[in-house]
Amino acid sequence: MTDKTLPDLPRIWLPYTQMKNAAPPLVAQRTEGTTIFLEDGRALVDGIASWWTACHGYNHPHIRARMTDQLGVMPHVMLGGLVHEPVQALSDRLVALLPGDLDHCFYTDSGSVAVEVAMKMAIQYWINRGVTGRTKLLSFRDGYHGDTLATMSVCDPEEGMHSLFAGVFPEQVIADLPRDEASLASLDTLLSGKRDQIAAIIVEPLVQGAGGMIFHPPEVLSRLRALADKHNVLLILDEIFTGFGRTGTMFACEQASIVPDIITLSKALTGGTIALAATVARRHVFEAFLSDSPGAALMHGPTFMANALACTAACASLELFEREPRLDQIAALSAMLETGLEPCRALPGVRDVRVLGAIGVVELEAIEDLSRLKAALVDQGVWIRPYRNIVYLTPAFTITPGALVRLMHAIYEVLRDGAFRKPV
Ligand SMILES: *Cc1c(COP(=O)(O)O)cnc(C)c1O
């Protein structure tokens, strides 16, 4: 029962938000291409594609048409004991696109759960093979793998709130991402000591996204693959952010010519339309679950797994990668980000400017007033969401040069005006 004498509090609990006196969120009414139209009549150029998902822009007619057809036929049917054409088609497509023998697709509804499934797969892989004690994951500082309890345990200790939740979730092995011979050697030593406790290494390839858009070269990944092989642990690549073109290749792992044992995908999988995620395993991982003992099966099955409408959207999105010159567009976009963001480097308070594929980052010394900076960007008519100490762009691959210039100009203007500083 509600007490009508209490003051009204917001009914919608917003993500990552202190709800006490939170600025009221803007109301989105409709989207088209790379524009978000607000209820109050304003239109914002979208620089981040709704948390990196809407890679073909909003309301792409091809995805819409395919989804509309599927909605009329069968939006959903349970996957227990049944499969359907959209999930078969999507699995065929993913297996064909992914490198090596990443041939076995397990579907969930969100990235975090896809990572949870990857963690369960890796731990049970060893149990099923009769190897005991390998219950931990090795992950890296500044990493981000999701918000559920188990995935928090493999996130950056600070951002994953490891001290607040101490004792709640399992303690993992967390290391610095190795960037040189010395740090590779210490990771090697760490693995020598702890390999009997470790089921898998998990890493975001090429870019630690939510941790601050921190890049590393492909060699880091090939060295991690070699270390995983040397110490006989599995390698999980979390390509939830990097998958589907964002770093310039369809998958980031292609740039290192490595094949992980397990890969997780979500974000741009359905072109930003509807929730879907996949955890894809190599043959040897899948085979470890084949047994006459029922207890060896993977015990996981989200109610809405492989939702037919979502699988259709994902197929339609992958059809667009085939039909339209996406990777060329990403290369062109990358070059424009390089030249267009470069002038920011000279601005006071800017520490670094970097670009990888369709990711452009301006790193500041510090963002003193995040709310002020966000508001200043909206005043410029753009939707850009700075966090930590970065202002970044991850636009739709289909963005027009004009819209991209508007985004980059807006960043330059607000940083030049010092909108990230506390007002004096
Ligand atoms: C966004 C993200 C996740 C979590 O996905 P959700 O769908 O938000 O649960 C996990 N890993 C990476 C690398 C991500 O970028």
Residues 73-116 pLDDT 10s:
999 999 999 999 999 999 999 999 999 999 999 999 999 999 99
Residue-level pLDDT at 54? 98
Residue closest to 106 by CA, chosen among 231, 115, 97: 115
Q: How does residue 3 score in pLDDT terms, banded at 50, 70 and 90?
A: low
Residue-level pLDDT at 423? 85
Tell me whether residue 51 is annotated as binding: yes
**Ligand 1 atom closest to Cα of 112?**
9
State the DSSP code for 42. -
Tell me whether residue 267 is annotated as binding: yes
Mutational test site, ligand 1, from 112, 149, 202, 216, max ligand atoms within 8 Å of CB: 112
Letter string b/e over residues 350-369, b meaning 16 or more CB atoms within 10 A of that residue's CB: beebbbbbbbbbbbbeebee
Residue-level pLDDT at 14? 95
Ligand 1 atom 8 nearest Cα = 111
Question: Among 62-66, 201-205, 292-296, 374-378, which is the least confidently predicted range?
Answer: 292-296
Examine the pLDDT at 197 and tell me if it is beyond 80.
yes
Residue-level pLDDT at 1? 57
What number is the average pLDDT over the span 40-47?
98
Residues 389-419 pLDDT 10s:
999 999 999 999 999 999 999 999 999 999 9
225 Cα–ligand 1 center, Å: 22
Q: Which residues line ligand 1 (CB under 6 A)?
A: 110-112, 115, 144-146, 204, 209-210, 238, 240-241, 266-267
What number is the average pLDDT over the span 114-136?
98
Tell me whether residue 302 is annotated as binding: yes
The mean of the pLDDT values for the chain is: 97
Mutational test site, ligand 1, from 152, 266, 273, 359, max ligand atoms within 8 Å of CB: 266
Residue-level pLDDT at 141? 98
- Positive or negative, the Cα torsion across 137, 142, 146, 147? positive
The whole-model pTM stands at 0.97
Residues 351-362 pLDDT 10s:
999 999 999 999
State the DSSP code for 266. -
Residue-level pLDDT at 2? 62
Q: How does residue 23 score in pLDDT terms, banded at 50, 70 and 90?
A: confident
Q: What one-character-per-residue DSSP string does 382-420 give?
A: EE---BTTEEEE---TT--HHHHHHHHHHHHHHHHTTTT
Examine the pLDDT at 276 and tell me if it is beyond 70.
yes
Residues 318-370 pLDDT 10s:
999 999 999 999 999 999 999 999 999 999 999 999 999 999 999 999 999 99
Tell me whether residue 312 is annotated as binding: no
> Cβ neighbours of residue 108 under 8 Å, at least 6 residues apart?
114, 116, 117, 277, 278, 279, 300, 302, 305
Mutational test site, ligand 1, from 237, 240, 264, max ligand atoms within 8 Å of CB: 240
Beta bridge partners of 30: 37
144 Cα–ligand 1 center, Å: 7
Helix (H) or strand (E) holding 350: strand 350-356
Ligand 1 atom 7 nearest Cα = 111
